[in-house]
Amino acid sequence: MPAALPDDGNNGPLALIAGGGAIPIAVAEAVQRSGRRVVLFPVRGWADPEAVEKYPHHWIAVVQAGKFAKHARAEGCRDVILLGAAVRPPFWSLRLDWMTLRLLPAVYRSYRGGDDHLLSGIARIFEQHGFRIVGAHEVAPGILIPAGKIGRFEPSPRDRSDIARGLGLLRAIGPFDVGQAAVVANNQVLMVEGIDGTDSMLARIAELRERGRIPTAQGVGVLVKAPKPGQDRRLDMPAIGPKTVEAAARAGLAGIAVVAGSTIIAEPAEVARAADAAGLFVHGIDERAE
Amino acid sequence: MPAALPDDGNNGPLALIAGGGAIPIAVAEAVQRSGRRVVLFPVRGWADPEAVEKYPHHWIAVVQAGKFAKHARAEGCRDVILLGAAVRPPFWSLRLDWMTLRLLPAVYRSYRGGDDHLLSGIARIFEQHGFRIVGAHEVAPGILIPAGKIGRFEPSPRDRSDIARGLGLLRAIGPFDVGQAAVVANNQVLMVEGIDGTDSMLARIAELRERGRIPTAQGVGVLVKAPKPGQDRRLDMPAIGPKTVEAAARAGLAGIAVVAGSTIIAEPAEVARAADAAGLFVHGIDERAE
């Protein structure tokens, strides 16, 4: 990777490597609104082609370090943010460019283990080449969910007990670098997020409910999301959006609880509207209070 | 529930409440082979009607305590064993008999929480009425998996590291009364068992693999099963059978590892044959050594 430009404080253009979903675009919008130039590097197959059209952008393939670095340098970017859903491809299917080939041993070492491990390995490589990885909380703090309710509804005492159990479980599995989410209903853990992610977990709950395999009634149960303990907040911060609300509604849950200040919310107005329409609560957990 | 008969040592007939799958029948066979009479109480909708035909049996519905107690008493049974897959029905769908209605508050209290909580609540009710809940390890120790390999194949050093990570994870989530199984591949936790059970988790892995969503190659990854720490071994002991091997093969795993002496193996010869045919290892973990 060619080296990045010298440090220019926090005001140079921001390189945003964009995976799938609404989050990268929501962050790009917030950064642009703050007056900072943003250049998208949408990842082919993951990012939405229509959504990136509104921004200066350069398409890249997964792990095309050389192509990214060349364009990021030409655009004057030193700060880099990685956002959005990433389907981790089988290692042998990666279309590596020449630059990445030289980085291969380091990438491969990062590939063995969980997502955190992979991401921190990739962040290290960027930093060795003079880029600086930043987090959404640094460049667009307004995109983090605040404490309290989004929309009209609030968790009941039973929901709060489910939230506490879910948070405890997520803390316990943190060291194993597994999912950031779980569904708890009436004090019972129904499901822990696997490699397929939150939406897929909710779809499975919906399917099990249809087959009469969920013991709790419709409208009982909470999707709880929390960052892993010790997780680098610049990387892989939990996120929700209107689609999460729709998936939770289809799963027949009472609501969604995420850690305030540590969770990205895409399209908050849409989230509130979808939650109110479905009768779900969306709750920002104040970790200091709960 | 009418009271059970007086204690007759360990040799009176055994009441076996049979859920789904091959385990209840395998245990019934082992108990009968040991010279003890066994009376099946197959649960309607769960147990296999053809398999129970070979044994004296009385069909019951879920939570028909009165019917169970009447027949168990008439058959002279004091010891009771509960075995097999149980789809926990929605509470409001239970067809309670008169006896169970009186036990309802206690059953309902047990219903709130995880499986362990439900089962220990049910065990307590049996015991309050003079029955004694026994475990497979007491009545048919030969049905527990021994340490070492079943079949030809053995775990590689990488598989052993996946097994260690899986065991650590299962210990960490034990207090949350969630799944007894996880899939770990190349040091990454792919999935934790949810309310839908082991076979469903393996089916999801197979499906994700088909869609190119599993980062590790075919033939990498281990299904690890372990009893929850502090779990009452008389209740809900982990179990594997030929179907587990087939599901693990479809999921593209290297093998299956379970805790020796604490896991029921149904049809061990069939398990070995299926594992050898699919090129999978089935490994009994010696917890004192590993």
Count CA atoms closer than 13 A to B107's CA, side-chain side.
16
Task: State the Cα angle at B226 between B223 and B232, rounded to 5°.
Answer: 155
CA angle B51, B57, B59 (to 5 degrees): 90
Q: Report the complex ipTM.
A: 0.80
Q: Nearest residue of A to residue B117 by CA position?
A: A188
pLDDT, one tens digit per residue, over B166-225 is 999 999 998 887 878 999 999 999 999 998 889 999 999 999 999 888 888 899 999 999
- Which stretches of A44-193 are DSSP H helices? 49-52, 65-74, 98-111, 115-128, 136-139, 157-173
What pLDDT digit, counting tens, does each position of A14-68 carry?
A: 999 888 888 889 999 999 999 999 999 998 888 889 999 999 999 987 667 778 8
CB of B218 within 8 Å of any CB in chain A? no
Interface of A with B in 105-124 (CB under 8 A): 111-115
Q: Give the separation between CA B56 and CA B41, rounded to whole angstroms.
A: 9
The answer to whether B91 contacts chain A (CB < 8 Å) is yes
Q: Which residues of B touch A203 (CB under 8 A)?
A: none
B269 Rama class: left (phi>0) / alpha (psi -120 to 50) / beta: alpha
Residues in B touching A88 (Cβ below 8 Å): 215
DSSP code for A220:
-
Is pLDDT at A152 greater than 90 in this prediction? yes
Residue A98: predicted pLDDT: 58
Phi-psi region of A35 (alpha: psi -120 to 50; beta: other; left: phi over 0): left
Cα distance from A265 to chain B (closest Cα, Å)?
Answer: 25
**Cβ contacts of B204 on chain A, cutoff 8 Å:** 194, 196, 204
**Which residue of chain B has the CA closest to A116?**
B188
Q: Is the pTM of this model over 0.90?
A: no
Instruction: Report chain B's C-alpha Rg in angstroms.
Output: 19
Buried b (16+ CB within 10 A) or exposed e, A210-221: eeebbbbeeebb
Q: Which two tokens stand for residue B80?
A: 């009771």
Judge whether A16 and A39 are in contact, CB under 8 Å: yes
Q: To the nearest 5 percent, what fractions of chain B are helix, strand and coil? A: 40, 20, 40
Taking an 8 Å cut-off on Cβ atoms, the answer to whether B189 and A114 are in contact is yes
Is the sign of the CA dihedral B191, B216, A24, A207 positive or negative? negative
pLDDT tens figures, B115-128: 566 666 677 778 88
Facing B87 at nearest CB: one of A188, A191, A213: A213
Contacting residues of B for A195, CB less than 8 Å apart: 188-191, 208, 213-215
| Chain B CB contacts of A114 below 8 Å | 187-189
Whether A213 has its CB under 8 Å from any CB of chain B: the answer is yes
Whether residue B75 contacts residue B83, with contact meaning beta carbons closer than 8 Å, is answered with no
- Contacts for A53 with CB less than 8 Å, ≥ 6 apart: none
Asked if A96 has any chain B CB less than 8 Å from its own CB, the reply is: no
User: What gap in Å lies between CA B22 and CA B151, rounded to an integer?
Assistant: 19
Minimal Cα–Cα distance from B116 to chain A, Å?
10
Question: Model confidence over A226-272: pLDDT tens digits?
Answer: 988 777 777 778 889 999 999 999 999 999 999 999 899 988 999 99
